[in-house]
Amino acid sequence: MIRLQRLFRIGWVFCKYRLDLFISLAELPFPLKVLFVLAPWHLFPQPNVSRGDRLRLALEELGPIFVKFGQILSTRRDLLPDDMAESLRSLQDRVPPFPGDTARAIVEASLGAPVSTLFTEFKQTPMASASVAQVHAATLPDGRKVVVKVIRPDIERTIRQDISLMLMMARGLQHYWSEGRRLRPVEVVRDYETTIYDELDMQREAANASQLRRNFEQSSLIYIPSIDWNYTRKRVLVMEQVQGIPVADVPALRAAGVDMKVLAEKGVEIFFTQVFRDSFFHADMHPGNIFVDATNPVDPKYIAIDFGIVGTLAPDDQSYLARNLLAFFRRDYRQVAQLHIQSGWVPAHTRVNEFEAAIRTVCEPIFERPLKDISFGQFLLRLFQTARRFDMEVQPQLVLLQKTLLNVEGLGRQLYPDLDLWSTAQPFLENWMRKRIGPTGLLRTLQTHLPAWVEQSPDMPQLFHDALLQIRNSPPASHDNRATMAQLNAQQAHTDRRWRRVIIAAILMAGAWFTTRDDALDLIQAVPLPGWALLAGAGWLIWRGGR
C-alpha cells in the first residue's frame, strides 16, 4: 500500500513539472503513445523554467533519496546534456531533523548504555541534518569535545522502497528508449544503490576516515579528525569535533587574512596526492564537507569531514590516467587514443586514427585559450563523452574521479579565480611517473612481487607443460595449434630470459644497497671463500642462461 502511494506521488510530481516532455513519443510502442496523449499531465501548464531546473525541482520535491541520486547524475555528463547536469549540481538536501529523543534512543540501543553514562553532555538539537544521518554535539567523560553522527530511523525501508521504484522506471527506459541500451539506466541505479547503502554503515565511514588520517599524518595540507572506535557502531559514529571556517565562506577567509592562492593550490595538491600517491581519495569533497584552519593564515590547512564515499584506483588505472594526462599536456593525441585502447577503456577493435581525430577535434579548441581559463574537470568530461561514441565502457572509478575533480576545481576557482590547475598538476604527475618507473619504483616493485614470483616459480614448468598437452590433445585445428604452440614456446623462452634478468637486476640492486652499509666489510669477511666461489658460479650460470 505504501509503495502504491509513493508511486502515485511520483506520478503527481512527474505531471506537475511536465517531465513527459523529455520523452520522444516516436520511440514508444503504440499503447504507450495513446497513454501519453490522453494522460492527465496535459492539464498542467508547462513550468516557465528550463528543463534542467524542472528536473531539479522534481527531484527535490520527491525527497532525499532522489536528491542524492540527482547529485550523482550531475557528474554523469555521458548520461545527461550539459545544461541539465549543471542544474542538478545545485541540488540541496533540504531534510528536516528528526527528534533529539529519537537520536538518543538510537545511540543508547547501539552502544548499550544510557546517554547520560556515555557522555557528560549530549545536545539534543542537531548541528546538521542530511538525507542519511544527522549530527549532534557531545562531550566525553574525559572532557573531549566530539560529534555524534546518527543514522536516520527507518531510512533503510525508505531507501529500499525508492530504489525499487527507480529500478522499475529504469527498466522501462532501457526497454523503450533508443538510448537505453547504450546508457544502461538499470546499471546506473544499481551503482547508486551500492553507494547509498555504503553510506548507511558508520563503521565503514569510520574506517575510511582512519585510513585518510593515516595517509595525511603530520601533513601541512589537510587535517582528518580522529575516530573514537569505542563509541562507533553500524548506526552511530563518534568523531573528534573540529573548528574551522567553512570553505565556501570566502569573506570570512579573507577577513582572517588567509592566502587564497596557497589555499587553492593546496586543494589541488591534496587531490593529486590522494589519487596518485595513496590511490585512496575522498570522493565527496563538496564545500559542505570542507573547512579551513586559519590559525596560520599564510599557510592554511584544510579540514575534511564526512567520509561515506571514497574512491580507489588500481595501479594500472593510475598509470594509464597519469600517462593520458601527460600526453594531453604535450598534445600527443595519438598516444591518448592508444592508451585508451591499451587500458581496455575502449574496445580493442577501435580504429586508432578515427579515435585520434575525434580527440583532436575536442582538444584543440580548448588549448587555444590560456591555461588558467581551461577547466580541467570539464576537459576530462568532454574527453570521456567523446570516448563514449567509441563504445567506451562506464568506469565507476573514473566517474568518482571526475566528480571529485569537478568539486576540487570549482572550489579552487571560487577561492582563487586565477588558479592554473594545469601548471600545478603537470609537475606533480611528471615527478610521480619518474618515481614509478625509476630505480626507486623498480626496487619497490621487486620488494612487493619478488616473494610471490619465487613462490610460484616451481609451478610454472608444470603449468606450461599441462597447457601444451591440452593444446596437443585438442581437436585438429592443427595449423592453428602448431602456430599457438610455436608462440607459447617463444613466449616461454622470452619469459625465461626476462626472469633471469629480473634476478640479475635484483642482485645488482641488493649489492648496491649492501655496499652502503657501515658493516659491509665485516659481513664480506664473515663469508668463507668457497661460499663466494659458489655465488660467482651461480651468477655466471644465470647470466649465460639470460643471454
Dist CA 90 CA 74 (whole Å): 9
Q: Which one, of 72, 89, 33, lies nearest residue 166 by Cα?
A: 72
* Residue 341 domain-assigned (yes or no): yes
Q: Which DSSP string do the residues of 347-378 spell out, in sequence order? A: -TT--HHHHHHHHHHHHHHHHTS-GGGS-HHH
* Residue 168 domain-assigned (yes or no): no
* Mean pLDDT value of segment 218-222: 92
* Residue 448 domain-assigned (yes or no): yes
Residue 137 has pLDDT above 90, yes or no: yes
Q: Is 401 or 37 the better-scoring residue by pLDDT?
A: 401
Angle, nearest 10°, between helix axes 421-437 and 315-329? 130
Q: Is 474 or 317 the better-scoring residue by pLDDT?
A: 317
pLDDT at 21: 62
Could you give the residue ranges of the DSSP H alpha helices within 330-456? Answer: 333-342, 352-367, 376-388, 396-415, 421-437, 439-456
* Residue 169 domain-assigned (yes or no): no
Residue 514 has pLDDT above 80, yes or no: no
* Mean pLDDT value of segment 223-231: 95
Cβ count within 10 A of residue 145: 13
Residue 227 has pLDDT above 90, yes or no: yes
pLDDT at 203: 94
Q: Which one, of 17, 98, 99, 24, lies nearest residue 62 by Cα?
A: 17
The secondary structure of residue 227, as a DSSP letter, is B
Report the residue count for the chain.
547
pLDDT at 341: 84
pLDDT at 135: 94
Q: Say if residue 407 is in the same domain as residue 259.
A: yes
* Mean pLDDT value of segment 252-256: 93
Q: What angle do CA 69, 75, 80 make, to 5 degrees?
A: 85
Q: Say if residue 319 is in the same domain as residue 431.
A: yes
Q: Which three cell numbers stand for residue 16?
A: 506537475
If you average pLDDT over every residue of the chain, what do you get? 76
* Mean pLDDT value of segment 364-381: 68
Positions annotated as catalytic residues are 284
Dist CA 73 CA 112 (whole Å): 39
**Torsions phi, psi for 222 (to 5 deg):** -150, 150
Residue that is last in its domain, among 437, 456, 490 = 437
Question: How many domains, in total, are found in the chain?
Answer: 4
Long-range contacts, stretch 82-90, CB < 8 angstroms, 24+ apart: 83/50, 83/51, 83/52, 84/51, 84/52, 84/55, 85/52, 86/52, 87/50, 87/52, 87/53, 87/55, 87/56, 88/52, 88/55, 88/56, 88/59, 90/56
Q: What angle do CA 449, 436, 267 make, to 5 degrees?
A: 125
Residue 446 has pLDDT above 60, yes or no: no
Within 8 A by CB and 6+ apart from 410, the residues are: 377
Q: Say if residue 333 is in the same domain as residue 413.
A: yes
pLDDT at 69: 79
Could you tell me the residue range of the domain that residue 59 belongs to? 2-93
Q: Is 543 or 76 the better-scoring residue by pLDDT?
A: 76
Q: Say if residue 20 is in the same domain as residue 137.
A: no
Q: Say if residue 460 is in the same domain as residue 326.
A: no
Dist CA 162 CA 6 (whole Å): 8
Annotate 265-292 with b (16+ C-beta within 10 A) or e (fewer). bbbbebbbbbbbeebbbbbbbbebbbbb
* Contact (Cβ atoms closer than 8 angstroms) between residue 9 and residue 38: no
Dist CA 541 CA 150 (whole Å): 66
Q: Say if residue 231 is in the same domain as residue 104.
A: yes
* Contact (Cβ atoms closer than 8 angstroms) between residue 226 and residue 240: yes
pLDDT at 277: 86
**Among 24-38, 63-77, 299-313, 339-353, which stretch is predicted with the lowest mean pLDDT?**
24-38
pLDDT at 154: 83
Q: Say if residue 87 is in the same domain as residue 104.
A: no
Q: What confidence category does residue 523 fall into, taking pLDDT thresholds of 50, 70 and 90?
A: very low
Q: Say if residue 78 is in the same domain as residue 186.
A: no
Dist CA 455 CA 519 (whole Å): 30
Residue 260 has pLDDT above 80, yes or no: yes
Q: Say if residue 403 is in the same domain as residue 325.
A: yes
* Residue 267 domain-assigned (yes or no): yes
Q: Say if residue 238 is in the same domain as residue 281.
A: no
Q: Is 168 or 123 the better-scoring residue by pLDDT?
A: 123
Helix (H, G, I), strand (E, B) or coil at 240: strand
Most confident residue range from 8-12, 72-76, 252-256, 362-366? 252-256
Residue 453 has pLDDT above 60, yes or no: no
* Contact (Cβ atoms closer than 8 angstroms) between residue 10 and residue 165: yes
* Residue 321 domain-assigned (yes or no): yes
What pLDDT, in 10s, does the model give residues 312-361? Answer: 888 888 888 888 878 877 888 888 888 888 877 788 888 889 888 988 88
Could you give the percent of the chain with pLDDT greater than 90? 21
* Mean pLDDT value of segment 177-183: 61
Q: Which one, of 9, 18, 10, 13, lies nearest residue 41 by Cα?
A: 18
Cα R_g (the chain), whole angstroms? 29
* Mean pLDDT value of segment 529-541: 55
Q: Do the bridges between strand 222-223 and strand 310-312 make them parallel or antiparallel, or are there none, so unpaired?
A: unpaired
Q: Say if residue 315 is in the same domain as residue 283.
A: yes
Write out the H or E segment, with its range, that includes residue 293: strand 290-293
Q: Is 297 or 512 the better-scoring residue by pLDDT?
A: 297
Q: Say if residue 227 is in the same domain as residue 80.
A: no
Within 8 A by CB and 6+ apart from 268, the residues are: 408, 409, 412, 419, 421, 424, 425
Q: Which one, of 429, 409, 417, 375, lies nearest residue 261 by Cα?
A: 417
Taking the CA atoms of residue 380, residue 386, residue 387 and residue 390 in that order, the dihedral angle to the nearest 10 degrees is 180
pLDDT at 53: 83
Q: Which one, of 285, 270, 245, lies nearest residue 411 by Cα?
A: 285
What pLDDT, in 10s, does the model give residues 146-168? Answer: 999 999 998 888 888 888 888 88
* Residue 462 domain-assigned (yes or no): yes
pLDDT at 304: 93
Residue that is last in its domain, among 186, 210, 242 = 242
Residue 542 has pLDDT above 90, yes or no: no
Please tell me the pTM assigned to this model: 0.69
Within 8 A by CB and 6+ apart from 44, the residues are: 15, 16, 18
Write out the H or E segment, with its range, that includes residue 70: helix 64-73
Task: Note the maximum CA span of the chain.
Answer: 99
The secondary structure of residue 47, as a DSSP letter, is P
* Mean pLDDT value of segment 233-244: 94
